Amino acid sequence: MIKLMVFIDGTWLYSNLRHLAKECNQPSFYIDYGLLPQRIIEELERTAGIRNTDLVRTFLFGSYPVNYDLVDEDRARKRKDFFSLLREDYHYEVEAYPIDYQRHRILYDDRVPDNSFSPKEKCVDIALASSMLYHAAISGSYDIAIAVVGDKDYFPLFQKVRSLGKRVAVASIQQSCAKVYSNRHDELKLKDFHIIWLNDLLDKIVWTPEESLVECKSPLHIGPSQMTTTVRLRGGQPFFCDECRLKFADQKAEQLREYTSSETESKPEECDARFHSYHEGVIENLIPDRGFGFIKRADGASFFFHVTHLTNIEWEALQPGAKTRFTIIREPAGAKAGAVGEVTLISDEE
Ligand SMILES: [Zn+2]
């Protein structure tokens, strides 16, 4: 049995999907991450003539935004949901690192034209390298490492992994692959197989949406609330239709302006552990007809939350005094509350 481990540079892959979309003439292209590792392995088996492989582990290294413009909450939330999907449904090992947006918009196109802010991604390549090398040094851990990458920085890693007696395969995207990997002669001795192009696997790795019947749980919903969607809901997460999401966004922007600490210049050191760890507190009060409320943390600080921040409970079932665990996007300042990222109800058994 030949043991394989797959190491995906998630940030690189995510930001280069547009090339694959262009190639299949689609406005967007989504990968079916449930299929991806196995499809790459099948291609490796086919082209290298190897058999009897066993996929031992799949790692994905990525990043998620913190300290962003609160308008982008939905976008940030989707990234976290995506990582949960990978972990829970596809058994990936996800290592994700925060990127401090210093309160700017997440997408480049959403920032004003003269905005020179450029987010600094941290740790992703080092984390991938550490992991691949760490496992290479453990005997019996894997025989072949498959790297799904495009940036050239990884070449010293592949040399080291090979010097430990492991074999290296690279899967990449033609339009975004460093020459050191695609070079036929492989002068730097980086890999043991021909490069695998995701471009050749498009129809095998494309995500095809499946429709399911859901009910919009928004108190603002108008009309029949049952509908079909291709959105995949995470365990216990309520569904809100697009129309209600838009209404929520407006409502939330207004409420955030009114109740939470205002925009101030953030210091780089502000993006510390507080923004990527969990906090605990109790529901302080609820404004039922307006879909928001406040949570009091143990130190007495108050945080604004909106119905869309709840991950495992419906608004109607929420009671003051309920225990919650939450992430934060902003600390309170002056008389104004802080802002939460997502709120999970803690059951009494915990
Ligand atoms: Zn709705």
Question: Domain check: are 71 and 126 in the same one?
Answer: yes
Question: Domain check: are 148 and 249 in the same one?
Answer: no
Question: Domain check: are 70 and 182 in the same one?
Answer: yes
Going from the Cα of 229 to the center of ligand 1, the distance in angstroms, rounded, reads 12
185 or 263, which is more confident:
185
Indicate whether 218 belongs to any domain.
no
Question: Domain check: are 160 and 241 in the same one?
Answer: no
Q: Are the beta carbons of 252 and 308 closer than 8 angstroms? A: yes
User: Which of 78-92, 225-239, 241-255, 327-341 is predicted with the least confidence, judged by mean pLDDT?
Assistant: 225-239
Rounded Cα distance between 120 and 101, Å, is 8
Q: Are the beta carbons of 281 and 299 closer than 8 angstroms? A: no
CATH of the domain at 316: 2.40.50.140
Question: Domain check: are 145 and 239 in the same one?
Answer: no
Question: Domain check: are 277 and 189 in the same one?
Answer: no
Indicate whether 299 belongs to any domain.
yes
CATH of the domain at 90: 3.40.50.1010
Q: What is the reported pLDDT for 265?
A: 43
Question: Domain check: are 188 and 244 in the same one?
Answer: no
Q: Which of 160, 188, 205 is the endpoint of a domain? A: 205
115 or 203, which is more confident:
203
Residue-number span of the structural domain to which 323 is assigned: 235-345
Rounded Cα distance between 172 and 169, Å, is 10
Question: Domain check: are 200 and 254 in the same one?
Answer: no
pLDDT exceeds 60 at position 150: yes
Indicate whether 253 belongs to any domain.
yes
Indicate whether 222 belongs to any domain.
no
Indicate whether 192 belongs to any domain.
yes
Q: What is the reported pLDDT for 263?
A: 52
Indicate whether 212 belongs to any domain.
no
Q: What is the pTM of this model?
A: 0.78
Q: pLDDT for 282-316, tens place per residue?
A: 999 998 878 899 999 999 999 999 888 888 777 88
Indicate whether 221 belongs to any domain.
no
Going from the Cα of 265 to the center of ligand 1, the distance in angstroms, rounded, reads 36
pLDDT exceeds 80 at position 155: yes
Going from the Cα of 238 to the center of ligand 1, the distance in angstroms, rounded, reads 11
Going from the Cα of 192 to the center of ligand 1, the distance in angstroms, rounded, reads 53
Rounded Cα distance between 161 and 93, Å, is 20
pLDDT exceeds 70 at position 32: yes
In degrees, rounded to 5, the angle at the alpha carbon of residue 146 between the alpha carbons of residues 144 and 151 is 135
Q: What is the reported pLDDT for 274?
A: 67
Instruction: Give how far Cα 28 sits from Cα of 19, 24, 180, Å.
Output: 9, 9, 28
Question: Domain check: are 72 and 192 in the same one?
Answer: yes
Question: Domain check: are 49 and 169 in the same one?
Answer: yes
Going from the Cα of 335 to the center of ligand 1, the distance in angstroms, rounded, reads 33
100 or 48, which is more confident:
48
**Nearest CA-CA partner of 305 in 252, 261, 228:** 252
The stretch 60-87 carries a mean pLDDT of 86
Cα Rg of the chain (Å, integer): 23
Going from the Cα of 294 to the center of ligand 1, the distance in angstroms, rounded, reads 23
Phi, psi of 171 (to 5 degrees): -115, 135
CA 12 to chain centre: 12
Bridge partners (DSSP) listed for residue 196? 171
Bridge partners (DSSP) listed for residue 12? none
Domain count, the chain: 2
User: Which of 52-56, 127-131, 168-172, 254-258 is predicted with the least confidence, judged by mean pLDDT?
Assistant: 254-258
Q: What is the reported pLDDT for 269?
A: 46
77 or 241, which is more confident:
241
Question: Domain check: are 44 and 180 in the same one?
Answer: yes
**Both structure tokens of 31:** 């990968």
Question: Domain check: are 185 and 272 in the same one?
Answer: no
Q: What percent of the chain has pLDDT over 90?
A: 49
